[in-house]
A and B are shown apart, each in its own frame.
Chain A
């Protein structure tokens, strides 16, 4: 049981003449029993952050606290954490059973108890049939589940899981995510889960920390990430397909404010709250963001506005379809129902709600309203 705090944590790798600033001024407060996901593109410093929490990597600057106690100087054995490694790191001379049993064995648990716990976790991860095999004989997905199992078999203060589902097929991943969530609910332990798959992160976590370029972009629950992204990066990274961005000029005054997209015939009308923010800032240029899901062919309930465009490509995805649209030189996307097919070149009216228009500072990318 532990509340994990990262206070302006930095990690700099120094090698022959080169310096990599892998984590920059990262501050996070993870509550006791919380399930937190760290989400970000490859190379943004997720694994480095985890390794500092676990104690496998020196902390270049800042402080990490478990329940208010500074742990910077403690080794991993003293922090009572369990970790599943991105590279699995299975013990090659042990069988799967022995791999799973090792963390319990070094804690001096009795044989029968170890046997029971290992079987239980193996059942959960669907690896009962390979308990007698050595890691070298297993498939990537099997090795990954053994590595996950070795972390989950213990009951540490904090679970640290580094991309533990990346090699599983969609069905298996779905079941494993479900089991993991259930396990978390049953044990109530703090869990930090790293992934670059937003579906996993949003499905599991109470809160998600989005990282990019060694820095924390936003630490919030899914609703905030989706509707009030901290900046353009988060708006772009969260959501599938990615958000449409337009550079626009602010035209008109008061209730007649329109955001005219440069080089096209498109113009968006924000709602009252956003107009107020614009008026207060006095900005003449903004970046407009609108999610493809919020651009519909049929008018939504309540107040809505419309824009005109032309169909470029109709992409059928089964349950939904993605429309690649064009207005002048600008291409953008909308999500449509797959019931109706659109031929390229068809002119189309699209509807949106004024309150779904997101505004970003064009220079810094910060969220305005």
Chain B
């Protein structure tokens, strides 16, 4: 009698894959696939960082770079930067820019998102408004810079014209938007115009995903709209708003494109930011050593701030039992 063959529990094609020698690809393929990105990262991130760290302690300039002659100067570059009034001025500008720019964007974005959600009843209209508000974000920052530079011209700018036509200003008067007093404010205006939509989108989607039953319960409990906003909506959105702020903060910290296009840091360094100075020193004046010191200072401060942010996020996620 023929012996009964037992069917294998695992299909053959699966077995084949499990055999140690049966490889899908050759042995070198994974090495190459991981190797290429690693090499690229080494070339464009690790090498420049180390190179920069090295030159931060040397008096490298354009000549030195080509001839290979530069001397070790210790912490001299850092001392120069830290004692430079131009640097102090740029830090003050940055703080203004962060407090008024990033903060204003998040506050405005949050307010608009909640207004959109609570006060615009028709979903179709909501989507149209949302798209309209997101449009500026889709323009390249340099284009936005050029656009606002034109709008804010003192003599022929549309903004001054508008103010005159609205009767808010005498026809002979001119506001010098890009002058010493207002250049930083103008940058902030342009940036807020472009980026408010990001916190808006983030907070809006956060609000949409909050459970409606909680708000129904609050209505039944007799809470006023303002109480609901203050005690429930905002606390429930706190983490989302913080994330929106972190995103805007990180972007604002390295803000350079509109400065370059609109004011070039001027007039009289009134709108200069640290990143822009580093860019000027390094790429324009070829003071490689000092630019490297700038870059390192910026990097270290950024690292500290980001670490604090991440720590906050981790605590939040843990409190919500996600992590």
The 8 Å CB contact of A93, one of B211, B219, B232, is B232
The 8 Å CB contact of A91, one of B220, B222, B232, B238, is B232
- Known contacts A106-B227, A136-B320, A89 near B221 by CB under 8 Å: no
Q: Which residues of B contact A150 (CB under 8 A)?
A: 217, 221
A102 at the interface (CB under 8 A from B): yes
> Which residue on A lies nearest to B219, using beta carbons?
A76
Are A85 and B223 in touch, CB under 8 angstroms? Answer: no
- Known contacts A91-B232, A93-B232, A82 near B220 by CB under 8 Å: yes
A107 to B235, CA, bound (A): 21
Size of the B side of the interface (Cβ < 8 Å), in residues, is: 20
Are A56 and B216 in touch, CB under 8 angstroms? Answer: yes
In the complex, per-residue mask of B289-323: 1 if CB is within 8 Å of any chain A CB, else 0? 00000000000000000000000000000001100
Q: Which residues of A contact B320 (CB under 8 A)?
A: 136
A336 to B231, CA, bound (A): 58
Q: Which residues of A contact B213 (CB under 8 A)?
A: 85, 87-89
22 contacting pairs across A/B (C-beta < 8 A): A56-B216, A76-B216, A76-B220, A77-B223, A82-B220, A83-B217, A83-B220, A85-B216, A88-B213, A89-B211, A89-B214, A89-B216, A89-B217, A90-B214, A93-B235, A93-B236, A93-B238, A102-B218, A106-B221, A106-B222, A107-B222, A154-B221
Are A106 and B219 in touch, CB under 8 angstroms? Answer: no
A71 to B18, CA, bound (A): 70
B209 at the interface (CB under 8 A from A): no
A76 to B223, CA, bound (A): 10
Query: Closest CB of chain B to A190's CB: distance in Å?
Result: 15
A43 at the interface (CB under 8 A from B): no
> Which residue on A lies nearest to B234, using beta carbons?
A93
Residues of A98-118 at the interface with B, using a CB-CB cut-off of 8 Å, are 102-103, 106-107
Q: Which 3 A-B pairs have CB atoms at the shortest separation, nearest pair first?
A: A89-B213, A103-B221, A89-B217
A154 to B238, CA, bound (A): 29
- Known contacts A89-B214, A89-B217, A77 near B222 by CB under 8 Å: yes
A43 to B234, CA, bound (A): 34
In the complex, per-residue mask of A150-171: 1 if CB is within 8 Å of any chain B CB, else 0? 1000100000000000000000
In the complex, per-residue mask of A109-136: 1 if CB is within 8 Å of any chain B CB, else 0? 0000000000000000000000000001
Q: Chain B's interface: helix, strand, loop or mixed, by majority?
A: helix
Query: Closest CB of chain A to B62's CB: distance in Å?
Result: 58
Residues of B171-223 at the interface with A, using a CB-CB cut-off of 8 Å, are 211, 213-214, 216-223
A83 to B217, CA, bound (A): 8
Scoring B220, B231, B321 by chain A CB atoms within 10 A of each residue's CB, the highest score goes to B220
A90 to B213, CA, bound (A): 8
B224 at the interface (CB under 8 A from A): yes
A92 at the interface (CB under 8 A from B): yes
- Known contacts A136-B320, A136-B321, A91 near B214 by CB under 8 Å: yes
Q: Which residues of A contact B223 (CB under 8 A)?
A: 77, 102, 106
A75 at the interface (CB under 8 A from B): yes
A136 to B320, CA, bound (A): 8
- Known contacts A92-B236, A93-B232, A106-B227, A75 near B219 by CB under 8 Å: yes
Q: Which residues of A contact B227 (CB under 8 A)?
A: 106
In the complex, per-residue mask of A52-95: 1 if CB is within 8 Å of any chain B CB, else 0? 00101000000000000000000111000111010111111100
- Known contacts A102-B221, A102-B223, A136-B321, A92 near B216 by CB under 8 Å: no
Are B214 and A92 in touch, CB under 8 angstroms? Answer: yes
Additional 15 contacts, C-beta under 8 A, given A76-B220, A103-B222, A106-B221: A56-B216, A82-B220, A87-B213, A89-B211, A89-B216, A90-B214, A91-B214, A91-B218, A93-B236, A93-B238, A102-B221, A106-B223, A106-B224, A136-B321, A150-B221
Q: Which residues of A contact B235 (CB under 8 A)?
A: 93
Q: Which residues of A contact B218 (CB under 8 A)?
A: 91, 102
A155 to B142, CA, bound (A): 62
Q: Which residues of A contact B224 (CB under 8 A)?
A: 106
A89 to B141, CA, bound (A): 44
Scoring B218, B221, B223 by chain A CB atoms within 10 A of each residue's CB, the highest score goes to B221
Q: Which residues of A contact B214 (CB under 8 A)?
A: 89-92
Q: Which residues of B contact A81 (CB under 8 A)?
A: 220
A154 to B223, CA, bound (A): 13
Are A91 and B321 in touch, CB under 8 angstroms? Answer: no
Q: Which residues of B contact A102 (CB under 8 A)?
A: 218, 221, 223, 231
A76 to B216, CA, bound (A): 9
Q: Which residues of A contact B220 (CB under 8 A)?
A: 54, 56, 76-77, 81-83
Residues of B225-279 at the interface with A, using a CB-CB cut-off of 8 Å, are 227, 231-232, 235-236, 238
Q: Which residues of A contact B321 (CB under 8 A)?
A: 136-137
Query: Closest CB of chain B to A303's CB: distance in Å?
Result: 55
Scoring A81, A88, A89, A154 by chain B CB atoms within 10 A of each residue's CB, the highest score goes to A89
